[in-house]
Amino acid sequence: MVISISSWNRYIGLKADYSASLAMQRYKSGQMTFREAIDAALKNFFLGKLTYFYWNSGEEMAPTIGAPRGTHLVRKLPVSGPTYVFPGDVVVLRDPMKSHNNYLVRRLAGIGGYEMVSKDEKEVPFVLGKNQFWVLSDNENLKPKEANDSRNFGPVLMANIVGRVIYSMRTAEDHGPVQNSSNSGMKADSEVLEVELDLDQMTKIHLGKD
């Protein structure tokens, strides 16, 4: 695959932004000295990637992504916040009902400041806090407890979002980019896909889970 110079330049810019933002976050939190942060940023820029593969099972996100199982390409986030994820994005988040190493794929439905209104007239509307978000399953045929989303476990801290799903493989023959919210965000994601998407490797991972 031939990558255009303009796409490559934009990809380099995205990678530099990610590497610098991640390093500065760790420096400001006291995890690294300034020198260590600079070294980490350079190492990540030259050796790291902006994506990783994630495999999950379940009907909660059907028909948007793979069901009952799917393999996804997830774009990493240096920090969780409204400048990197947007309402309407399909995100990977830490499962609030299980251990720290369990994750869910859900659609981001609301962020801090959003008023959440239920179809149930008995439920009182409320406003999400500054660092909270609300996620929903895409499968409208599931009841809230079956969907295992914010209707079940409530608001979740923004820091629990770890990535945005940008490509999904439902089967080895059925795969493609995920429809997220922001046109500008999807444009940037498409440039990441142009450089980092490896369908051969993704297919091997997917078939290996069968």
Which residues are designated catalytic? Answer: 60, 106
Q: What one-character DSSP code corresponds to residue 52?
A: E
- Structure tokens of 102? 């369990």
* Cα-to-chain-centroid distance, residue 22: 16
What would you report as the CA-atom Rg of the chain, rounded to the nearest whole angstrom? 18
Q: What one-character DSSP code corresponds to residue 3?
A: P
CA distance 209 to 54: 11
Q: In which element (H, E) is residue 7 found?
A: helix 5-28
Give the three-state DSSP class for 194. helix
Strands (DSSP E) found in 66-151: 69-76, 90-94, 103-111, 115-116, 126-127, 132-136
Q: Which value, to the nearest 10 degrees, does the dihedral of the CA atoms of residues 27, 30, 36, 41 take?
A: -30
